[in-house]
Amino acid sequence: MGYETISAALTGQLLLRDAIVFAVLKTAAAAITIGGRMGGGIFSPSLMIGALGGLAFGIIATGLLPEVSGSETLYALAGMGAVAAAVLGALISTTLIVFELTGDWQTGLAVMVAVSISTALSSRLVDRSFFLTQLERRNIHLAAGPPCLSAEDVPGRQSDAPDGSQKCCFQGVFAHPDRSGDLYSYQRHT
């Protein structure tokens, strides 16, 4: 899993070379595991890669500008939060977890800045988070919001779908009354 390595990164017990090598190896291992559809997750690898990348950045930053940079371990924590938030798409949750775990508002602010930057960058590079992408591949469009019926579209009322199904909040998505809430797409012809 890499929890020992994450702990070593967060306590500053790794050298720059070790942090870079472990981050590259973990990235390759996670890519092979996910690409090969083998068992394994993405949450723990994102924590480990973020902590190692943050530690490597922190070692370099404190070496170049020691009087204006924070501690190496602060960068490790910020990197861990930033990568996890970008991969999971949970920027607020990640920031709040760090606030809760550390109890230090200065650390929380550093993580908040890192999470904001990583989320802005990842939203420019990819359409959605890793988990939303997996759901979209299964034709589950969670990012569109929960389906809901309006008062006019209760069962037994007239609908503009050709088979009498009920309109939902999404444009062109209908809940069929005989399919116990299954959603299906319908393209309107206007």
Q: Give percent of the chain above pLDDT 90.
A: 32
Q: Write the pLDDT tens digit of every residue in 40-50.
A: 788 889 999 99
Q: Which domain holds residue 177?
A: 145-190
Residue 88 and residue 153 in one domain: no
Closest CA to 55 of 79, 27, 83, 81: 79
The pLDDT-based confidence of 106 (bands split at 50, 70, 90) is: confident
Examine the fold and report which residue of 135, 154, 179 is the final residue of a domain before the chain moves on. Answer: 135
Residue 122 and residue 168 in one domain: no
Contacts of 174 (CB under 8 A, 6+ apart): 159, 161, 165, 166, 167, 168, 183, 184, 186
Residue 176, pLDDT above cutoff 90 = no
**Helix residue ranges per DSSP H, the chain:** 3-10, 16-35, 43-64, 72-88, 91-102, 105-125, 130-137
The pLDDT-based confidence of 130 (bands split at 50, 70, 90) is: confident
Q: Write the pLDDT tens digit of every residue in 141-171.
A: 666 655 543 444 444 545 455 555 444 444 4
Could you give the strand order of the β-sheet that contains 166-167, starting from the edge strand earlier in sequence? 166-167, 173-175, 183-185
Q: Is residue 140 part of a domain?
A: no
Residue 129: what pLDDT?
Answer: 80
Contacts of 14 (CB under 8 A, 6+ apart): 5, 8, 22, 52, 55
Residue 95 and residue 55 in one domain: yes
Other beta carbons within 10 Å of 26: 21
